[in-house]
Chains A and B, each alone.
Chain A
Amino acid sequence: EAGVTQSPTHLIKTRGQQATLRCSPISGHTSVYWYQQALGLGLQFLLWYDEGEERNRGNFPPRFSGRQFPNYSSELNVNALELEDSALYLCASSLGLGGDQPQHFGDGTRLSIL
């Protein structure tokens, strides 16, 4: 069974640019979650999608947005990039709304802002 896949592995941008990160969940998983892991700050919840709808978002500005496609893959868009957006962005997927189901993570996209 293929795991959660994220692309690209690394992304280098400059301040003010826009970044798009992509995630393919495990087959059969309908929920996709996005997290930001910045140095020293642990995992910060960004967004949760299920069945194509945004279900919840964390305490991030509106320039962080995303969507989920009919095949349950997802993309995260970050507009007007700032230096502090440099981080590892992790995508996770789980089976629907089952709260007892673990989230399974991809290896992340390392976003570096110059």
Chain B
Amino acid sequence: AQSVAQPEDQVNVAEGNPLTVKCTYSVSGNPYLFWYVQYPNRGLQFLLKYITGDNLVKGSYGFEAEFNKSQTSFHLKKPSALVSDSALYFCAVRPSYSGAGSYQLTFGKGTKLSVIP
């Protein structure tokens, strides 16, 4: 069974500083990895995905994520945080093979990001 760990419930960063939200995963075979953001009283918004190829993936709103196969990690990063980035961030994984259960996304428990002015 696949799983996702987001080791930090909350991350605080000053506006203008770089931010990192951590994610590690466990899955059979190669992973498909996703990051989502959730603002209060809203659904999840897709930020970026890793399918294959370049380990550094660029996404929406200046976010990027680095895939590290040896460390089974997919950390979300942004060079300069904005107050408007404050939200709940979810990492998700599914296996790349086809078959029963392979299309089901497994989410981490989320990390609350607070960007302090």
Contacts and interface: CB of A to CB of B under 8 A. Distances in A.
Given A42-B109, A100-B51, A4 B32 contact: no
A82 interface: no
Q: Main SS of chain A's interface residues?
A: strand
Interface in B78-117: 90, 94-96, 98, 100-110
B67 interface: no
A56 interface: yes
A43 interface: yes
- Dominant SS among interface residues on chain B: loop
Interface residues of A, number: 23
B44 interface: yes
Nearest to B48: A102
A106 B94 CA distance: 20
Interface in A1-50: 4, 6, 31, 33, 41-43, 45, 48
B109 A4 contact: no
A99 B102 contact: yes
A105 interface: yes
Nearest to A40: B109
Interface centre among B43, B90, B104, B106 (most CB of A within 10 A): B43
A31 B102 CA distance: 14
B46 A99 contact: no
B41 A56 contact: no
Given A33-B105, A56-B103, 17 more contacts: A4-B43, A42-B108, A42-B109, A43-B107, A55-B103, A56-B100, A92-B43, A97-B103, A99-B96, A99-B103, A100-B49, A102-B34, A103-B34, A103-B105, A105-B44, A106-B43, A108-B43
